[in-house]
A = this chain, B = another copy of it.
């Protein structure tokens, strides 16, 4: 049984964990600020140091799994472009880490790895066809097809938040238009609320829109829970868009389980009824709903580390 070290590289923190038996829970965790503004070389040095700090004395059978924000070429182990990590362009992170530690290293897209983690150890255990959507600052995805992570030619597949749902619609963080991410991510929900406030609609959110912490999806959710009409409408519109897109994704992938995760699912109690209703209403044939299960992600903030571990365990 190999000893696995997992790395979750984020724009804010680098998290590492040690999995001596290639399954959760981790025995050791460590977290260090990414300080991305210092550039790739400084961040890579911190990644190597963080791994060193929890590595076992004997590295004979060690493997390392790394999750990082996409798009990345997982087949070659190269980060192509990381919006939250300035200067990371075509960076061969897998090779850099493998050269340092002299052991096998796997690199995966963080949303893909979350799908892998929820499938192996979380809400999707036991199925062979799973669709995972993480709704957060962005919207990412992962697909398990016939018991394997769907990767595509360069490992870029399953960017399920970057698919056009509304031609000519709102601009997405990626610069394109009408993607689900530009309609129903956390920032998109906040923006929709701000637009309605700017149009003069009444809402308890008006005070927040000038406050320091600003308007967030969480604040919109809280107001919706307290009966604010504007907030409720914004939440319902996001749920409708997510449900509509899920119907399309059922047609594309015909999964057994849909797992929904990410920070915006903290208001999942408000979103889920609308998501499910829209999905069921917009499916092309009831057979796509036969035995289908919609589940919330179970693995919490460790999902990225567990996914990186699961990826490395397949090396």
Contact = CB atoms under 8 A, between A and B. Distances in A.
Given A160-B252, A167-B166, A285-B81, A129 B146 contact: no
A260 to B, nearest CB: 17
A233 interface: no
Interface stretch (A46-54, A92-100, A149-157, A219-227): A149-157
B152 A255 contact: yes
Interface stretch (A190-198, A204-212, A241-249): A241-249
Interface in A216-269: 241, 244-245, 247-249, 251-256
Nearest to A130: B153
Task: Give the number of copies in the complex.
Answer: 2
Nearest to A161: B251
Contacts of A282: 164, 176-177
Nearest to A287: B80
A77 to B, nearest CB: 14
Centre residue among A157, A245, A252, A288 by max chain B CB count within 10 A: A252
B154 A290 contact: yes
A157 B128 CA distance: 14
Given A153-B256, A166-B167, A253-B152, A174 B284 contact: yes
A215 interface: no
B253 A150 contact: yes
Interface residues of A, number: 54
Contact of A146 (B151, B159, B162): B151
B152 A145 contact: yes
A57 interface: no
A165 interface: yes
A253 B252 CA distance: 10
A299 interface: no
Interface string A119-162: 00000000011000000000000000110101111111111101
14 contacts: A71-B287, A128-B153, A129-B153, A153-B254, A154-B287, A154-B290, A158-B252, A159-B252, A160-B251, A163-B163, A164-B165, A166-B167, A172-B284, A175-B284
Interface of A: 71, 73, 80-81, 128-129, 145-146, 148, 150-160, 162-167, 169, 172, 174-177, 179, 241, 244-245, 247-249, 251-256, 282-285, 287-288, 290-292
